[in-house]
Structure 1
Amino acid sequence: MPMEQPDHIVRSYDEQLRRLRDMVARMGGLAERQVHDSTQALVRRDAALAAEVVARDAALDQMEREIEAFSVRLLALRQPMASDLRFIVAAMKVSHDLERIGDYARNGAKRGVVLAQQPPLGSLNGVQRMSLMVQENLKLAIDALVNDDAEAASRVWAADEPIDTVYNGIFREMVTHMMEDPRNITAAIHMMFIAKNLERIGDHATNIAETVHYAVRGDSLPDERPKADVSAYAVVRPPEQA
């Protein structure tokens, strides 16, 4: 029979796993804040807030490095098995998704600075709605990891299609603005990229959900998740002549 470990060693290991959960939760909270503030900087045409978002991205990068180093140390020293092993590997994968989410938020903030110098182009309701949706999915995915909740992870995984639908609407609206007046092209292209960034953030939230489901259950969700992004197949036609 394998020797039982002393209680203080078991407690120390459990504390290290809790610390890892806390580290990922803090990184998730910062990533969510970056998405929120990037959108607010765009809506309020606030260059100072956009600059804050760009500057804070370094903190996310550092947190990813810390989570990876801590996880590797746990793997090497504790040699975890089964669900603990899956959780530690999941923490590393999730931290990478969160770092990429931070990159998309930073990119959106930079484009928001450019758009603040341009005349307003239509309503920002679609972008605000998209941002709220991806923030909610991101929060739920991180909560699912912290709470070992595979059911919540599955719900996040299935909730990406409405985000794509909003993105498609923004894409079509921006194409219309560009066809109506070539002077709108610069602003419209930046808006398209911002919307695409949010759509990609939504994809990373579902990636996190897939990782969480595997960490908890030990099996994978289906390869194909519901998607509704049709922008790659869009056909741009000039307006009909009167």
Structure 2
Amino acid sequence: MIRIHFQHKLDELRERLLVMAGLVEQAIDRAIEAYDNRDASLCDLVLMAEPAIDRTEREIDQLALDILAMEQPTAVDLRFILAVIRINADLERVGDQAVNIAARVKELQAIPEADLPIDIPKIAEIASTMVRMAIKAFIDRDEKASNDVLLMDDEVDKLNHDAFHTLGELIKSKPDVTQQALNALVISRNLERVGDHATNIAEDVIFWVSGADVRHHASAMTSLPDQIAEA
């Protein structure tokens, strides 16, 4: 009976995290669509969703801490709880990036549109795909899919770096589009951060499933202490 109660708590923690993931996915998708269509109503929906995301983050953290305090999880169960705590924090930060993008889109609406030589939609597509893949990897306990997310991070980093260089040169040659370029630059950076958080989530899935610490793209996986890493 004790084990069944403990398993129910773990199941509840997992379901709460999936609710959080759904809220955050919706927020980032709406923010990207708001940028594509210059849609203020979508921006408002993103901003209105932030309190629910923050509240859900706090509830998940509290539940995880309660489980740690009341139970004595070992091995894979302990890794699961620790991974949930870290994934929860990264999801909340993806929500923050969605809010930042929505705020920038509102600023762009107040100024004339400009033809900027960068592909924000491509950066957005890759970053949002990384989030979806990382969450699905969590659901499926899929280490291979998690590694696929890690490989995508370099592409987002490169696109953001290229955008920084291109927009910097554009501002020098066309000062009249400085405001538009700076807002696009910030949005590109926000999307790059979304990719970083998706990478963190994928790393935590690997940590949960295998006990391997692959943070910072370490060239060799390092094992955690035996009491945590031993499955």
* TM-score past 0.5 threshold: yes
How far the C-alpha of 1:118 sits from its partner, in A, is 1.4
Q: How far apart, CA to CA, are the structure 1 residues paired with 2:90 and 2:215?
A: 19
Matched, 1:203 2:162: no
Q: Which amino acid in structure 1 is aligned with residue 40 of structure 2? A: A
Alignment of 1:50-69 (within 5 A): 50-69=43-62
Matched, 1:23 2:16: yes
Q: How far apart, CA to CA, are the structure 2 residues paired with 1:129 and 1:30?
A: 22
Matched, 1:168 2:175: no
The answer on whether the counterparts of 1:29 and 1:139 sit within 8 Å (CA) in structure 2 is: no
How far the C-alpha of 1:225 sits from its partner, in A, is 6.4
How far the C-alpha of 1:146 sits from its partner, in A, is 2.2
How far the C-alpha of 1:124 sits from its partner, in A, is 8.3
What's the RMSD between the two structures over aligned residues?
1.8
The answer on whether the counterparts of 1:42 and 1:116 sit within 8 Å (CA) in structure 2 is: no
How far the C-alpha of 1:56 sits from its partner, in A, is 0.6
Matched, 1:154 2:180: no
In the other structure, the counterpart of 1:238 is: none
Q: How far apart, CA to CA, are the structure 2 residues paired with 1:131 and 1:53?
A: 16
> Size of the alignment, in residue pairs?
219
In the other structure, the counterpart of 2:96 is: 103
Alignment of 1:1-242 (within 5 A): 8-122=1-115, 126-221=119-214, 223-224=216-217
The answer on whether the counterparts of 2:123 and 2:160 sit within 8 Å (CA) in structure 1 is: yes
Q: How far apart, CA to CA, are the structure 2 residues paired with 1:17 and 1:179?
A: 55
The answer on whether the counterparts of 1:31 and 1:101 sit within 8 Å (CA) in structure 2 is: yes
Closer, same or farther: CA 124–76 of 1 in aligned 2, 3 Å: farther
How far the C-alpha of 1:143 sits from its partner, in A, is 1.6
The structure whose residues are more often helix, as a share, is 2
> Can you give the 5+ residue segments of structure 1 that lack an aligned partner in the other structure?
1-7, 227-242
Q: How far apart, CA to CA, are the structure 1 residues paired with 2:85 and 2:71?
A: 16
Q: Which amino acid in structure 2 is aligned with residue 93 of structure 1? A: R
Percent sequence identity over matched residues?
A: 32
In the other structure, the counterpart of 1:240 is: none
The answer on whether the counterparts of 1:158 and 1:225 sit within 8 Å (CA) in structure 2 is: no
Q: Which entry has the higher C-alpha Rg, 1 or 2? A: 1
Q: How far apart, CA to CA, are the structure 2 residues paired with 1:121 and 1:109?
A: 18
Alignment deviations for residues 24-79 of structure 1 (CA, whole Å, 9 cap, x no partner)? 11211221211111111122111121111111111111111011000011111111
The answer on whether the counterparts of 1:150 and 1:216 sit within 8 Å (CA) in structure 2 is: yes
SS in 2 for 1:223: helix
